[in-house]
Amino acid sequence: MSNRLSIKKAIETNRKTINELLKLSNKYYKFHLGWVSHEISEENKILFQYPDYLPKSEKKYYIQPMVFNNAVLTWQYIINQKNKKRLDYLDIRDIHKHLAENLDIPGGQYRFSDAYIEQLQLDAPRFETLPYHIHNMHQHLYDSRLPILNRAIDIHYDIIANQLFNDFNKRTGRYAMNWFLILNKYTPIIFNKKSDKYDYMQALRERAQDNYKYYADYMYNCMLRTQQDILKILKKSKYI
């Protein structure tokens, strides 16, 4: 069995185990949500990207506490949508709107100018074509012929590569991916290790160069790692 197949098999086994454990008690479920919320907060600090033009000496002045506060509030908004069954383009706009709350960023508004993604050395589609690409993204997201994990990591990348918004595309992509995952009974994929600062961007760069395998392998490994962390903390919980 190839490494990727063994990882997918482990992910599915862990998914079933975690879902069974979370059914044991409401306290247990809340304990799990609390841990995920904390780790997603840490993720945003680890993956935070400064503007390319900003001198290193000024970076410490750039961080706005509201950015990280919004990240936590956005996750809380997502998990409170208990009656939600499907993710659509309006939900993606809502994610961006919550992430940009009280910041100098037009929350929930698609970009209306062309964009070049410096970090990926990639031209985004012309802004006039965004409706076409958004439609294709939605169709791909609910193509039942494709595995759920593939569709999840694809919506993450597609939001970034299409640069739907003027800013916050990567974090919007991560939240959209994780919302889709939890709607389908998977845990989120969390990038909470220091090594993810480099590895996450490298995976996106490889994907931009059409190296899907590199990107997918990294994302699958992060999913497996997140599941293992969740199982570890759940099994140590006093609720078991």
Beta bridge partners of 144: none
Which of residues 109 and 57 earns the better pLDDT score?
109
Query: How much is the pLDDT for 51?
Result: 61
Rounded to the nearest 10 degrees, what angle do helices 169-183 and 89-99 cross at? 130
DSSP 5-41: HHHHHHHHHHHHHHHHHHTS-HHHHHHHHHHHHHHHH
Domain range list for the chain: 3-236
Q: Domain spanning 3-236: which CATH class is it, in words?
A: mainly alpha
C-alpha 127/C-alpha 95 separation (Å) is 20
**Amino acid identity, position 21:** L
Query: How much is the pLDDT for 17?
Result: 93
DSSP 112: -
Query: Which contacts (CB < 8 Å, 24+ apart) does range 59-62 have?
Result: none
pLDDT digits (tens, 9 = 90+) for 48-70: 766 666 666 665 555 677 888 89
Mean pLDDT of 189-218: 96
